[in-house]
Structure 1
Amino acid sequence: MYKSISKFGSMLLISTFFCLSSTLVFSQNKILFVVSNQDYYGTSTIKAANHFGEIVVPYDVFTKAGYTVDFVSPKGGAVPIGYINASDSIHKKYLYNSFFMTKLKNTMQPGEVVAENYGVIFYGGGGAAMFGVAENTAIQNLAKQIYNKNGVVSAICHGTAGLAYLKDKNGKSLYSGKRITGFASKFEDKEEEYYKTFPLVIEQAIKNNEGSFVHSDKLGDGFYVVDGRFVTGQDPSAASKMTAEIISLIEKSNPDIKQESFKKLDKVFAEWDNVTAKPGVAAGLLKGSEIIYLKGFGTANISHETPITTDTKFQIGAMSKQFTAFAILLLEEKGKLLLSDDVRKYIPQLPDYGHTITIKHLLSQSSGLKDFMALKEISGWRDKDVFTHKDALDLIFRQKELDYLPGTKFSFTSSGLILLAEVIKQTSGQTLAEFSKEHIFQPLGMTNTLFSDDNEMIIPNMAASFQPGKNGLKHHFINHSIAGTTNLYTSAADLSRWYLNFENPKTGSKKLIQKLNSPVTLNDEKKTFNPTAGKFLYGQQYLHAERGVPKIWMYGLEGGYASNIFIFPKQKVTSFVLGNNNRYNGSLAMNMAVEVLGDVFPEPPAIDFSKLKTIKLTTQQLEAYSGYYWDSEKISSLRVYVKNDTLRYQVGNANENSLVPIAENIFQMVIDSDDVIKFKFLREGKVFKMIYTSGESDEYVYKHYTPKTYSKADLDDFSGSYYCEALNVSYTFTQDEKGLFTSNKNQPEINFTPILADLFLSSSRSFGSIRFIRDKQQKITGFYINSDRIRNLLFEKKAAKTQTL
């Protein structure tokens, strides 16, 4: 009777750009399959199973059309499968597909299902379908909720038994007078023991519930019936045809759907057309409280050819910070803490620096704490090393001095977010992962979102992190066990739920959302933080003009994961892309947004420099600005020079950029974008300065300098071994034909370029620059590391060992 039986432990979102409800949009691209946990026919010893073909054939059609399929069973967990035809290509494909088989090993319990997320409920067949499903009231309620939300109810073969008792809230049949088909009694072998165990006769049960049971007189002819939003099939041969009918019903469910708009958005992702086994993205587009577009492209796991869906989880890197900030503001709203609280009230282990660091200082990137990620790299940690929350705290607690008085300056440091995660733990009694799950993710139905604070955690339905290597793609494993700054995994569907909460809050208030999107300030409550990325907000995002239109944006890059979000608050348009394709995905997200925004931009995509008002300067006038310039705050060096009668600038060995004069001492950089980047030259006494701004950013002040040169003999003074007590790490400096360099056993070689006397710029961002210090006899005693993330990190020179004869 069975081919084989085995036990396993367990788009279409085409929407108008105007008025489709978010509930319907979410449900349209998700299908709920109902399967049975029954191992035996009744109480007999005859093995029962779910029909593999009646699962995998529709599953294949749905997923290829861009739908996500989830499984529910009365008990959850593993379900038995049978009727496997190993010679059938589709059966074989999914039998050896670990992603799919894991779904069958881990089916959901009815209580875990959020009905509003699904547009179709599909009852699979097989002998097991006759047991435990029809009488399960929780599954009945799911079917009623889906149907009442304009969804489709479908069943195939013995799966029709699941419809036996479906009634509305008034006790009336859900399909009264409708034509329903399934496996008819005439095809059953009534003399066999298996049949005698059946708790009901399908066709009679349908008739008893006021349905009109119909069937074909022949098996295998693909017979199915569509009556309203009920789609039923007689036997496995109907599976593909009835699935196509279900998809057609969903497409027609809203007459306002604009196919052309959907196609335009699809074209943004054309690089994945007809391509298999390629890392990809999941994309989402919202307008107000409506979802415009939600779809996956490419492959989540190359090894298993798992497709990316809107429920595929991605690590979103630094975009995780907004959730940490939200959690803190939520605790403030609940009266559990104040932003003015001393952080040491919650973390007494934090050294007493003689100046109070408040929670606000941590949120506003004005704490004066050194960045633990920079300290981690300098300490010699490698990417492949497991790095925990405790390791991060240990690095922070070892630092005995601040870089500046809290609240008087801004500087980016991940240390603040890690400490905020600890504040959340001490305030709520829950880790950030636990608190976020209970107070953010669960209330919003974000069932595919979590903070991972354990690198060994197995995360189901996760996109693998890839990056290109010499011999093709390779996995890029992430060994962080930290949460707060990174390590949030989420899906496109869940991220849509998160941003819909900004319009109609289910967790947190409108006031909280407003605070999240407000600029951070210093102690004076006036000075804001304006790096080149834009005005920095409490939500750890940036406010920046895109072609003259304000936008909030953020990106996350972690391993091979890359995420981008653009929010246009005035137009209420949100566009994001999550990827495992190891690249910046901002252009994809922006191109989606532009399709919706249309002609709202007062400025062109790129500056037309032929129309820019400029002045004419002679080569001699241009030469007056030539030279090297040094920014001691941002630790950056650049060179300005004249080439072909044009002033140009270059940072390191990067490509040069042209500068055109718009005033006698002001130049604008020629760039293929809408960014207005200016260089203003001025003299203050004996100091010649260059002031750099990008749009409305803060000023970056560079001072003219003449590069210091050293002979090999001079560089010998800097050779030796240096030790940092705050990190318990040593570096040995020496020189080669390129100049001064250093490394330790865990660090790649770091090269140093002389800037001024005893001041060198390193090839490592974390090292930034090093400034050597000397005693009264002018002997070098150590050096300080200064970068854009840490200040005055001291390394002392070790005394040279003397050799005794």
Structure 2
Amino acid sequence: MASFKILLINLIGLLFLFAPLDLFSQTYADSSAVAQLDSIFSDWDSETNPGCAVGVSQEGRPLVMRAYGMADLENPTPNTPSTIFEAGSVSKQFVSASMILLALEGEISLEGDVREIIPELPDYGETITWRHLLNHTSGLRDWGSVASISGWGRSNRTHNHDHVLDIVSRQSRLNLPPGERYSYSNTGYNLMAIAIERITGEPFADYSNSEIFEPLGMTSTQWRDDYTRIVKGRSSAYSGQAGDEEYTINRPIENVHGNGGLLTTVGDLLAWTYAIQSGYFGEEFHQELIKQGVLESGRTISYASAVRVDEDHGYRQITHTGATSGYRAYLSIYPEVDLSVALLCNVTGASPGSLGSAVSEVFLEERDADETQPEKGIVQRSDEQLKEWTGIWSDPRNYRATEITWEDGELRLNGNTTLHPISGTEVRVGSSETLYRFVDRGDDHPHIQVVREGFEEEVLNPENSAEEFDESWTDFAGIYASPDAETEVRIELKGDQLVAYRRPAEMFELEPVYENTYLAQGWGLVRFVMDENDEVNEFIYSSGRVYDLRFERK
């Protein structure tokens, strides 16, 4: 085994390290493929905008390395295949890899209780395991989303892992019970990076460097654990769309890493995919990396250990995208043909999933559509019957609204997705496999049972429509405080508009969504709660990665 690893190290080094200039100047793909790549990135191929670097390899052999746009607009420097970018959530793979390596060495059990190593995590009465963290089924709130509630989010203040632990330790609730549902949260990956330091006795950055980066010849890769450190060859990052006349700088100002923060090149990422495919870390490691999460309901989800296992262009893929500040990333392996695609960009307007998939299509042979799939039947119901299914429902865990309307002779979900009736009580959501089953629970309006891949999951509750303005909205006025988010908010009625004020000088208009529930544009969902005397005593805040956070009226 040792000699095999040495051979692999040499191969990886030869391909991606020891001859970088030769590698970048040679293209093994045919001219048609290169022309297609250039067309995909034509919007970014300019000296006046940021852009991307892309690399494609097959069986460990580089097929093409290309770069487009500028790495730095202030001191004009073009992107090259050796430019260093930040990999966003693609970085998570190196946390999961470290945890799996430690588990295979017997240093930790992936089914073990997180609180045994991270006692700062509150005891919620249910065990949260490392496996839950790996596949985002822990139910933990995203620490960065909590920080942003107070106005001091990840782009406004420099955070480190002490801040992560502090925020995590204050959370009085989980988003969801562990294992109930997939809910993406950076918190888990930061806690694992901290745990690796506690297990090994060395900084996570040092451990991953000695166990992964150095052995694989990933010499341009390091962690952004100090964002002020000079990194030669690093691109800047920007906000903007292709063709904009002006871009703004959008680089990370945090030292938190593990959830993101990997500084790397497309060549180094391809060295990593080659190590995975060639079995450098062993078959057991590989199987753990792609082991998909299983919910308490028994449903298997696509997310494994910092990779998704699904299909693209008819091929099985192991993939992840990433986004941090102005950086964008995509990394995908197509194991059936041993093809890997790495994409790194330094501008928000570059869509990594769309661009990465388009690149992959260039190098994948077209496959015939699967004709064995049964047709999805649609039943006919009268317009009157279908209109009975219109209304507003909310998820009792986060109070987000689901609205079904009747438009142009069909049912629409939230104004865009068509709902297809497939039985007397069910509709299919668009072209997906998700079903909405209308259930009579004795109320005036049916509840919705959401069915995914045959498994019954959440039930959505019917809600009354939002009321027009009246003077009773003054009952919502007051000062509300949250110890979880360490912040206060003042609610006032300004004319016929409810507004929320947050220090030092931010104001959010509250737009009615349904009864007692408002959307504060740019902030989150606010649901006012009454006590037994119909007096408002708190509101519940929910956003993308934070559910059911309470603000008590002072």
Category of TM-score, reference length = shorter chain:
0.7 to 0.9
Q: Paired residue for 2:408?
A: 644
Task: Tell me which amino acid in the other structure corresponds to 2:541.
Answer: I
Gaps of at least 5 residues in structure 2 are: 1-7
> Does the 8 A contact of 2:142 with 2:185 survive in 1?
yes
Specify whether residues 615 and 346 from structure 1 end up closer, same or farther in structure 2 by C-alpha distance, changes over 3 A only: closer
Distance 1:394 1:620 in 2: 54
Distance 2:262 2:456 in 1: 31
Spell out, residue by residue over 1:3-26, the C-alpha distance to the aligned partner (whole angstroms, 9 max, x if none).
xxxxxxxxxxxxxxxxxx998998
Q: Paired residue for 1:576?
A: 342
2:539 aligned to 750, 760, 783, which one?
Answer: 783
Q: Paired residue for 1:510?
A: 283
Please say if 1:599 is aligned against 2:357. no
Q: Paired residue for 2:507?
A: 749
> Does the 8 A contact of 2:47 with 2:78 survive in 1?
no
Higher gyration radius (CA):
1
Identity of aligned residues (%): 23
1:556 aligned to 301, 322, 329, which one?
Answer: 322
Distance 2:480 2:320 in 1: 38
1:770 aligned to 527, 531, 541, which one?
Answer: 527
Q: Paired residue for 2:82?
A: 311
Task: Tell me which amino acid in the other structure corresponds to 2:332.
Answer: F
Q: CA deviation at 1:542?
A: 2.1
Q: Aligned to 2:247, what secondary structure does the other structure show? A: strand
> Does the 8 A contact of 2:322 with 2:352 survive in 1?
no
Q: CA deviation at 1:495?
A: 0.6
Specify whether residues 658 and 386 from structure 1 end up closer, same or farther in structure 2 by C-alpha distance, changes over 3 A only: same
Distance 2:419 2:176 in 1: 35
> Does the 8 A contact of 2:176 with 2:397 survive in 1?
no
Task: Tell me which amino acid in the other structure corresponds to 1:421.
Answer: A
Residue pairs, 1:206-225, within 5 angstroms: none
Q: Paired residue for 1:705?
A: 463
Distance 1:418 1:623 in 2: 47
Spell out, residue by residue over 1:586-634, the C-alpha distance to the aligned partner (whole angstroms, 9 max, x if none).
2221122112222225259xx9xxx986454433233222222322335
Task: Tell me which amino acid in the other structure corresponds to 2:388.
Answer: A
Residue pairs, 1:259-270, within 5 angstroms: 259-270=31-42
Q: CA deviation at 1:797?
A: 1.2
Q: Aligned to 1:472, what secondary structure does the other structure show? A: coil
Task: Tell me which amino acid in the other structure corresponds to 1:450.
Answer: Q
Task: Tell me which amino acid in the other structure corresponds to 1:744.
Answer: R
Distance 1:598 1:791 in 2: 43
> Does the 8 A contact of 1:771 with 1:785 survive in 2?
no
Q: Paired residue for 1:458?
A: 230
Q: CA deviation at 1:761?
A: 4.5
Q: Aligned to 2:406, what secondary structure does the other structure show? A: strand
Q: CA deviation at 1:329?
A: 0.9
Specify whether residues 25 and 482 from structure 1 end up closer, same or farther in structure 2 by C-alpha distance, changes over 3 A only: closer
Specify whether residues 442 and 641 from structure 1 end up closer, same or farther in structure 2 by C-alpha distance, changes over 3 A only: same
2:150 aligned to 346, 365, 379, which one?
Answer: 379
Task: Tell me which amino acid in the other structure corresponds to 1:307.
Answer: P
Distance 2:122 2:463 in 1: 38
Please say if 1:633 is aligned against 2:397. yes
Residue pairs, 1:708-719, within 5 angstroms: 708-709=466-467, 711-719=469-477
1:521 aligned to 294, 303, 306, which one?
Answer: 294
Q: Paired residue for 1:736?
A: 494
Q: CA deviation at 1:486?
A: 1.3
Specify whether residues 395 and 328 from structure 1 end up closer, same or farther in structure 2 by C-alpha distance, changes over 3 A only: same
Distance 2:289 2:526 in 1: 34
Gaps of at least 5 residues in structure 1 are: 1-20, 31-113, 121-245, 799-805
Q: Aligned to 1:795, what secondary structure does the other structure show? A: strand
Q: Paired residue for 1:684?
A: 440
Specify whether residues 466 and 733 from structure 1 end up closer, same or farther in structure 2 by C-alpha distance, changes over 3 A only: same
Q: Paired residue for 1:149?
A: none
Task: Tell me which amino acid in the other structure corresponds to 1:682.
Answer: F
Task: Tell me which amino acid in the other structure corresponds to 2:319.
Answer: W
Q: CA deviation at 1:644?
A: 3.0
> Does the 8 A contact of 2:9 with 2:217 survive in 1?
no
> Does the 8 A contact of 1:634 with 1:788 survive in 2?
no
Distance 1:339 1:660 in 2: 41
Distance 2:235 2:456 in 1: 38
1:424 aligned to 193, 196, 209, which one?
Answer: 196
> Does the 8 A contact of 2:464 with 2:515 survive in 1?
no
Distance 2:503 2:322 in 1: 29
Spell out, residue by residue over 1:526-565, the C-alpha distance to the aligned partner (whole angstroms, 9 max, x if none).
73463xxxx1112x22233335543333211221111123
Task: Tell me which amino acid in the other structure corresponds to 1:445.
Answer: G
TM-score by length of 2: 0.86
1:793 aligned to 533, 549, 554, which one?
Answer: 549
Q: CA deviation at 1:435?
A: 1.3
TM-score by length of 1: 0.61
Q: CA deviation at 1:718?
A: 0.9
Task: Tell me which amino acid in the other structure corresponds to 1:649.
Answer: L
> Does the 8 A contact of 1:563 with 1:579 survive in 2?
yes
